[in-house]
A and B are shown apart, each in its own frame.
Chain A
Amino acid sequence: RKEVEQDPGPFNVPEGATVAFNCTYSNSASQSFFWYRQDCRKEPKLLMSVYSSGNEDGRFTAQLNRASQYISLLIRDSKLSDSATYLCAVNPLFSGGYNKLIFGAGTRLAVHP
């Protein structure tokens, strides 16, 4: 089983739609969680961190469910410019305390007019 799993999509949605992505992780001792956005042929860029209490940044809402070991990203009122691949990332805790940031394979989102 992969350490971090995402639905690969693609998600094809019209402008204005609400879309949600989920990401599951296997290491219950994971310490921190993130969502990244990656445009075609570019490097991943941090979209938002995910906090235990949930957090919102404009049209984007991230949530963490530790009991079920998943994080989610909700995008409201989708824009054409939201078209990209969304990657979740998890810092699992390993012995020795050195954390590695592990990524899911990414979910592709295509927003159409």
Chain B
Amino acid sequence: DAGITQSPRHKVTETGTPVTLRCHQTENHRYMYWYRQDPGHGLRLIHYSYGVKDTDKGEVSDGYSVSRSKTEDFLLTLESATSSQTSVYFCAIKTGPNTEAFFGQGTRLTVV
């Protein structure tokens, strides 16, 4: 158990509303990641962080922003949710730059 908690686990929201997903870790790891997973696309990297206030964009970052003000929390925000952002979102942590990743249980987001 890598001590990763995602919240909420399920959410239904309306188009145009802001949504924030939270990833919390208990192990003080430096590297944190947000992925989305859709049929036919696998896991695609949205944003990642390599320390407090250090974040960068992944391959599908449009429409998403992130913040990391504490080591243990990495927040993903959809400023104005769209139906195309309906997906399963996974948070992951890595213990080092070249190591494997450990995943949270995922958040299933539906935008109606």
> Which A residues are closer than 8 A to B by beta carbons?
6, 8, 31-32, 34, 42-46, 49, 87, 89, 91, 97-106
Q: For A98, list chain B residues within 8 Å (CB).
A: 48, 50, 56, 97
Q: For B74, list chain A residues within 8 Å (CB).
A: none
Tell me the chain B residues, 23-53 only, with Cβ under 8 Å from chain A.
33, 35, 40-45, 48, 50
Instruction: Count residues of chain B with CB under 8 A from any CB of chain A.
Output: 25
Q: How far is the CB of B33 from chain A (nearest CB, A)?
A: 7
10 A-B residue pairs with Cβ-Cβ distance under 8 Å, sorted by A, are: A8-B40, A43-B106, A44-B103, A49-B100, A91-B98, A98-B48, A100-B58, A101-B92, A103-B35, A105-B41
> Which B residues are closer than 8 A to A by beta carbons?
33, 35, 40-45, 48, 50, 56, 58, 90, 92, 94, 97-106
Q: How many A-B residue pairs have CB under 8 A?
A: 56
B102 A87 Cβ-Cβ under 8 A: no
Q: How far is the CB of A97 from chain B (nearest CB, A)?
A: 7
Using CB atoms, name the residue of chain A closest to B4: A43
A43 B58 Cβ-Cβ under 8 A: no
